[in-house]
Amino acid sequence: MMLEVREVYRSYKKTGNGFRRERLNVLNGVSFSIRAGECVGLVGESGSGKSTISRLILGLEKADKGSIFIEGKRVSEWIKENKGQMSVVFQDYTSSANPRYKISDVIGELLKAFGENEGIHGKVEHLLEKVGLPLSIANRYPHELSGGQLQRVCIARAISMHPRLLILDEAISSLDVSIQAQIMDLFYKIKKEMNMTILFIAHDLQAVAHLCDKVMFLHNGQIVEQIATSNLTDVQNEYARRLLYSVIPFNV
Ligand SMILES: Nc1ncnc2c1ncn2[C@@H]1O[C@H](COP(=O)(O)OP(=O)(O)OP(=O)(O)O)[C@@H](O)[C@H]1O
Ligand SMILES: [Mg+2]
């Protein structure tokens, strides 16, 4: 199993409201697993805890209870032993790229950090090509790019080490609709050409159905249903059905 999330709980301190030590329970026993090479979508409404799950998998924070295993090892241990083998693309591409770096350095950041010295230039050019950007932008700075271009740069960086696990956390949400479609095509190409396990997080069920083999629904802090994309219309859970029927009219 590439990724196994077992009975994970996560709560946060509620802000404001002085003395009471109330906590917001975001994840209430989340369990799921993803096999190597699978592309799995995670949908849920805003604030349902999708990014919390991605931060836990990335080792950026810890669960209150429960455990997460990557290839059978605890996250922190796996990360130490597999540098650069898990990466993420976030929604907010503007803060994901260091504004003082040239595009070539933004894309080459992980390659450099993980000790590649030879041939970075050639690799960056290859990555630019792969994500559909002209080589001429290599010397520009992030603020000189459009949102869609900059997100492509972040994607190029994320795949630069050819990670085994790629997390896409609302990676198209800040883009306008026509650019979203182009970036979805790019993800589709990456999925087909590079043999990675992908966790695609989105609130847009249509985008998920387009890319993923399987869909997981997050609601009230739990995965309430998991289903193969090909059987999507068979979902049983009430929340999942509501979400499904909210998009079906646009498909016909
Ligand atoms: N560090 C934190 N401290 C306090 N509350 C937090 C913290 N991080 C997240 N939360 C809260 O936890 C809940 C889940 O947040 P999370 O970012 O995981 O949601 P999400 O499903 O990714 O939402 P979106 O679709 O808007 O990205 C939210 O109510 C959020 O306000
Ligand atoms: Mg989020």
Question: Does the residue 160 lie in any domain?
Answer: no
Average pLDDT in the chain: 93
CB–CB of 197/38 below 8 Å?
Answer: yes
110 vs 205: CA distance, rounded Å: 31
- Give me the number of domains the chain comprises: 1
Residue 19 is predicted with a pLDDT of 66
Query: Does residue 203 carry a pLDDT above 50?
Result: yes
Structure tokens at 130: 């792969």
CA of 136 to the centre of ligand 2 (A): 33
Question: Does the residue 16 lie in any domain?
Answer: yes
Query: Does residue 249 carry a pLDDT above 80?
Result: no
Closest ligand to 12 CA? 1
158 vs 135: CA distance, rounded Å: 18
pLDDT of 136-189, one tens digit each? 999 999 999 999 999 999 999 999 999 999 999 999 998 988 899 999 999 999
Question: Does the residue 152 lie in any domain?
Answer: no
Residues β-bridged to residue 74:
69
Domain boundaries, position 219: 1-82+166-174+192-252
Q: Which residue CA neighbors atom 3 of ligand 1 most closely?
A: 12
78 vs 58: CA distance, rounded Å: 10
Tell me, using a 6 A CB cutoff, whether residue 92 lines ligand 1: no
Residue 250 is predicted with a pLDDT of 54
Q: Which of 5, 23, 24 to mutate to test the pocket of ligand 1 (most atoms within 8 A of CB)?
A: 24
142 vs 135: CA distance, rounded Å: 14
CB–CB of 160/140 below 8 Å?
Answer: no
Residue 220: which of 246, 233, 238, 198 has the closest Cα?
A: 238
Question: Does the residue 31 lie in any domain?
Answer: yes
Residue 2: which of 84, 70, 82 has the closest Cα?
A: 70
Question: Does the residue 104 lie in any domain?
Answer: no
Structure tokens at 125: 């050019």
Tell me, using a 6 A CB cutoff, whether residue 61 lines ligand 1: no
20 vs 86: CA distance, rounded Å: 38
CA of 27 to the centre of ligand 1 (A): 10
- pLDDT above 70 covers what percent of the chain? 96
CB–CB of 66/102 below 8 Å?
Answer: no
Question: Does the residue 126 lie in any domain?
Answer: no
Specify the residue for token string 């836990």. Answer: 56
Residue 246 is predicted with a pLDDT of 85
Domain of 36: which CATH number?
Answer: 3.40.50.300
174 vs 183: CA distance, rounded Å: 11
Residue 84: which of 240, 227, 196 has the closest Cα?
A: 196
For 101-114, give the DSSP string.
S-HHHHHHHHHHHT
Question: Does the residue 19 lie in any domain?
Answer: yes
For 134-188, give the DSSP string.
-GGGGGS-GGGS-HHHHHHHHHHHHHTT--SEEEEESTTTTS-HHHHHHHHHHHH
Residue 201: which of 41, 33, 91 has the closest Cα?
A: 41
Residue 22 is predicted with a pLDDT of 85
**What mean pLDDT comes out for the span 58-79?**
97
Question: Does the residue 96 lie in any domain?
Answer: no
Structure tokens at 159: 């795949």
